[in-house]
Amino acid sequence: MIDPSSIEAPMTPTLCLTGGGHASVVIDAASLQGEVTITAILDDDDTALGATRYGVPVIATLEHLEAMPEQGFHQFILGLGGTDAPGGARQREALFDRAWKAGLEPVTIIHPRSIIAGGVFIGGGSAVLAGAILNPRSRVGVNAIINSGAIVEHDVRVGDHAHVAPGAILCGGVSIGSRAHVGAGAVIRQGLSIGDDAVIAAGAVVVRDVPVGAVMMGTPAAPVARAAGEAA
């Protein structure tokens, strides 16, 4: 592990957990937000130790996560992106919970070029990225991703650890369950409910409620059977 005291930290030191592609997006959004400085990355790739990713040093592997408060870190964001792969959202949830239990506070990232109506609630550790729109009385849970260009209309509820992918549209009154994934460019008709752990494929048009754990694809969206052994 690299000595964190060697890192210049003009604001409260904040960790980014994992350093993949999504990390580059949240690190950039944080720098533009101006209230958060990402000063170090923990990654699950031990070959990255000592490297710099997106201008931020990789100081340790994730096995050192629980030691980070003793090293002066008290905040974190997840660089682990949302995915439609089986179990992907649960990996994000597990890493979020692990950091929280270690004593780190989740940081909420709001890109300055997103549009957020007054009175919208956004839970801790969530990321609202460039071009996203959240309209009145919408509510986003903890550790959710409202990705680039997504539209969250009035009175929508997005559950904890859910991912609304780029360009997806949630019409008024939609409810998205915990850990659900709404794929890029998908459209959810007004007033519908998407169950926990459900996956809506990219480009799908959903015209009826979706049960817990279902995988939906097509226009109109229809259920697709999971392969044997796949978990939600």
Question: Judging by beta carbons within 10 Å of its beta carbon (0-12, 13-18, 19+), is residue 112 exposed, middle or buried?
Answer: exposed
Measured distance CA(130)–CA(40) in Å, rounded: 23
pLDDT tops 50 at residue 57 = yes
| pLDDT top residue among 3 and 217 | 217
Would you state the structure tokens that stand for residue 220, as one six-digit string?
């109109």
54, HSE (Cβ side, Cα atoms, 13 Å): 21
Tell me the pLDDT of the chain averaged across its residues: 90
Backbone angles phi, psi at 65, to 5 degrees: -55, -45
Q: Are 191 and 172 in contact (CB under 8 A)?
A: yes
Q: Which pLDDT band holds residue 10 (cuts at 50, 70, 90)? A: very low
Provide the pairing of β-strand 105-106 with 56-61.
unpaired
- What is the pLDDT, as a whole number, of residue 160? 98
The pLDDT of 199-204, averaged and rounded, is 97
pLDDT tops 90 at residue 85 = no
Would you state the structure tokens that stand for residue 145, as one six-digit string?
């991703």
Q: Spell 172-201 as b/e; 16+ CB within 10 A means b.
A: bbbbbbbbbbbbbbbbbbeebbbbbbbbbb
Question: Known catalytic residues?
Answer: 154
Other CB atoms within 10 Å distance of the CB of residue 64: 12
Measured distance CA(62)–CA(155) in Å, rounded: 37
- What is the pLDDT, as a whole number, of residue 127? 97
Question: Judging by beta carbons within 10 Å of its beta carbon (0-12, 13-18, 19+), is residue 229 exposed, middle or buried?
Answer: exposed
**Whole-structure pTM value:** 0.91
The pLDDT of 70-74, averaged and rounded, is 91
Q: Is the peptide bond before 69 cis (omega within 30 degrees of 0)?
A: no
The residue to which tokens 């926990």 are assigned: 196
- Give percent helix, percent strand, percent coil of the chain, each to the nearest 5: 20, 30, 55
- What is the pLDDT, as a whole number, of residue 106? 96
Chain centroid to Cα 33, Å, comes to 16
Would you state the structure tokens that stand for residue 90, as one six-digit string?
């649960």
What amino acid occupies position 105? E
